[in-house]
Amino acid sequence: KEELERLLATGFIKPIDYSEWISNVVPVQKKPVGIIIFTDFRDINKACPKYDFPFPNIDMIVNSTVRYEIPSLMAEFLGYNQIKIEKEDQHKMTFTTPWGTFCYQVIPFGLKNSGVTYQREMTVIFHDMLHKIMKDYVDNILGNKRQEKTTLKCC
């Protein structure tokens, strides 16, 4: 119930009265934060077409870091949850719990196209910096300053 209250307070979910699409939730104990809710989107994932957007080649990204003195790895906090779902589609992201029925207002983890949608948005946002001073792989950014002096200046 605490996790639901947190999701409601952040605006990630909202109560909903009716939807033809209802998914089950799977509570998972995750240390140190406690219980986290994962939604089983298997049914809606079967109905969704797959987006075609290329993921960067992870081996190429890792290999390209060899020549950098100080690679800076940043994990993007609440990555997918920063992308809002169109109002007319929110009812499709419905899940039920003993405390009510809710729908996501932001992209949750577990949807077929969550990762590729997020990757596409990051590519659009950082297009002028990609492969120059940074690389992006889903919700991780790798800064590639070559010298300590310039890396610390950027921080």
pLDDT at 9: 95
* Tens-place pLDDT, residues 8-54: 999 999 999 999 999 999 888 888 777 788 899 999 999 989 988 88
CATH 3.10.10 fits 2-154, yes or no: yes
- Domain assignments of the chain as residue spans, ordered by start: 2-154
Assess whether pLDDT exceeds 60 at residue 154.
Answer: no
Residue 123 pLDDT class (50, 70, 90 cuts): confident
Its pTM stands at 0.75
* Tens-place pLDDT, residues 48-82: 899 888 877 788 777 777 777 777 777 766 777 88
Measured CA to CA in angstroms, residue 79 lies from 20, 84, 154 at distances of: 28, 11, 22
The answer to whether 66 and 73 have CB atoms below 8 angstroms apart is: no
